[in-house]
Copies of this chain bind each other. A is one copy, B any other.
Amino acid sequence: MKQLEELKQHLAEVNDLDMAGSVLNWDQSTYMPPGGAPARARQLATLARLSFEKFTDPVVGRLLDELRSYEESLPYDSDDASLIRVIRRNYERAIKVPPAFHSELTAHQSRAFQLWIEARPANNFKLVLPALEKTLDYSRRLANYYPGYQHIADPLIDDADYGMKVETVKAVFGQLIEKLVPIVNSITSQEPTDDSCLREYYPEAAQMAFCKDVVKQLGFDYRRGRHDKTYHPFTASFSIGDVRITTRIKENYLGECLYSMIHEAGHAMYEQGVCKDYEGTLLANGTSAGVHESQSRLWENVVGRSRGFWEYFYPKLQSVFPEQLTGVSMDTFYRAVNKVEKSLIRTDADEVTYNLHVMLRFDLELLLLEDKLAVKDLPDAWQAMYKEYFGIYAPDDRDGVLQDSHWYAGIIGGSFQGYTLGNILGAQFYASAIKDFPEIPSEISSGNFAPLLGWLQKNVYQSGSKFTAPELIERVTGGPMTIEPYIHYLVEKYGEIYHLGEYL
């Protein structure tokens, strides 16, 4: 099809501009000297603008129209039909937003983010309040470019987790919280776990070398990737052949670098595993925030905090850090990496309480969008929710409503649900993998991660963003998203570490 070739060629340029922007972003976080900042902001804005202009060029719409009958003649899951479908969906979403609104919002977001950079250390919510009120207004206006929604947050959620609706997410989160709260209460009412073995002095170079060995063995391909240090860990993909992770390191806390690396390697293996034929197209990345997070959380928690994983790796870790770990039993270490506690900071939370942090943010987003909560009352609402969910208050807004950048750098709506969807889906995919290959856990115990990676590669990674998250879940697990495997996983795992019996 001539038109498809033309469309691919046109969009390859968009992809090249986007990837160039990603390289510039990565460089900004890793190696750019401070003096580079002003010009870099300008360069990134130009690349984003040119990409948006090219993507929303009417020629794309014309080609899509001309391709409609070809698309309809193909099986739904063929590569061509999928590519046309995903381009069409993104194009139709993109052209609904006037370019002037797009630029205005981007400029506002960058100002709001700068204010937050100042406000957070100063514990000064008032400083960002007017900007955040504007952000809420922009978020509503953005949603209203997609009329016909069921809930005003639906179009915003679509941006990160296409096809997920407030209704679905709310229902799932409702079930989850009902099961989760008793587990959290049960665990946190017991004697706190001693994780002091993680808090010895672990020199940076040795930690880094160990973490590299770990993620390499999991399956992160260093010929098609690398790792670097940044303030906030992230994954950046510049092509299927170049997917990079970053990590941060604390010499007095072993968990920081290790679990950041495994988490990001999970994201990265997903991106490295996309079918190579999709290179440079809109199919060449993970399909949604939730499915992406399912992979980072699966590798970080389900694998990386499992007993089997440490049966294999703990002796190796002990030989790297004999002074720190001789005399620390495998069981003590295993309990330390799985310590559960009620805490204030989402990004530091354990895998059990983590969802509470996410769900209360999701609830707050909905209240704001539904006009049931004013932005000025957000700090109090935040505190009330933490009191309700965790029984603790943040001492200040810095570790309260100011802790995450999402609302300050982006929009309000759709920013958080993906984290908990990821926990749910990670367990759901893992359960399906084990159903197909029951030997996966025992292979993990002997350091063989290939059966799991191979299954994920075949069932999740290679399809890139061919299918929406709901479609993919259905295809891979034979049913819709469900919390059962996740709850089963938590109960089984933590029931063995703590005593949960009476709560379930």
A residues contacting B by CB (< 8 A) are 12-13, 16-17, 19-21, 23-24, 27, 31-40, 42-43, 46-47, 50, 221-226, 228, 238-242, 244, 279-280
With A24-B20, A47-B16 given, is the CB distance from A39 to B279 under 8 Å? Answer: yes
A49's closest neighbor in chain B, by CB? B13
Q: Which residues from chain B contact A21 at a C-beta distance below 8 Å?
A: 20
Contacts of A36 in B (CB 8 A): 224, 238-239, 241-242
Report the minimal beta-carbon distance from A16 to chain B, rounded to whole angstroms: 4
Q: Give the Cβ gap from A394 to chain B, nearest Cβ, in Å.
A: 35
Please tell me how many copies of the chain the complex holds. Answer: 2
Contact assessment for A43 and B24 in the assembled complex, using a CB-CB cutoff below 8 Å = no
Contact A16 B46 (CB under 8 A): yes
Distance in angstroms between the alpha carbons of A481 and B196 in the assembled complex: 71
Other-chain residue from B37, B223, B239 in contact with A38 (beta carbon distance below 8 A): B239
Q: Are A39 and B226 neighbours in the complex by a CB distance under 8 Å?
A: no
Q: Across the interface, which residues of B come within 8 angstroms of A228, CB to CB?
A: 31
Report whether A225 and B27 are in contact in the complex, using a CB–CB cutoff of 8 Å. no
Given A33-B226, A223-B33, CB of A239 within 8 Å of CB of B20: no
Which residues in B have their C-beta under 8 angstroms from that of A38? Answer: 239, 241, 279
Report B-chain residues with C-beta under 8 Å of the C-beta of A20.
20-21, 23-24, 43, 46-47
Which residues of the other chain, B, contact A35 by a CB distance below 8 angstroms? 221, 223-225, 239, 241-242
- A31 closest partner in B (C-beta): B226
| Cα–Cα distance between A267 and B12 once the two chains are bound (Å) | 35
**Within 8 Å CB of A223, what residues of B?**
33-35
Interface contact B280-A42, CB-CB below 8 Å: yes
Other A-B pairs beyond A33-B224, A35-B223, A37-B241, 13, CB < 8 Å: A12-B46, A13-B46, A13-B50, A16-B42, A17-B46, A20-B47, A23-B43, A32-B242, A35-B225, A38-B241, A38-B279, A39-B241, A42-B280
